[in-house]
């Protein structure tokens, strides 16, 4: 993995971002297939979309509760 990947994951964890967003971001960044339809959440979809673009634009919207 490249350094940017590790730095971004650490940043998201330190920001206390929802786990589904982080997992979605990882999947999008690595171009993994989407989860099964019944397991997709809004947070996962937002993370996946941001991961594909290699950005964290919407991360702040997904603070863990």
The pTM of this model reads 0.92
Phi, psi of 63 (to 5 degrees): -60, 135
The pLDDT of residue 18 is above 80: yes
pLDDT tens readout for residues 20-65: 999 999 999 999 999 999 999 999 999 999 999 999 989 999 998 7
Tell me how many domains the chain contains.
1
Burial class (CB in 10 A: 0-12, 13-18, 19+), 2: exposed
pLDDT category of residue 14 using cuts at 50, 70 and 90: very high
What range defines the domain where residue 9 resides?
A: 3-62
Task: Give residue 2's pLDDT.
Answer: 87
Token duo for residue 43: 């947070």
Q: Are the CB atoms for 13 and 23 separated by under 8 Å?
A: no
Across residues 12-24, what is the average pLDDT?
96
């Amino acid at each position: 993995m490249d350094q940017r990947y590790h730095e971004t994951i650490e940043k998201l964890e330190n920001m206390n971002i929802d786990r589904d967003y982080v997992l979605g971001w990882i999947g999008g960044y690595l171009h993994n297939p989407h989860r099964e339809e019944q397991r997709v959440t809004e947070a996962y979809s937002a993370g996946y979309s941001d991961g594909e673009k290699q950005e964290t634009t919407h991360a702040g919207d997904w603070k863990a509760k």
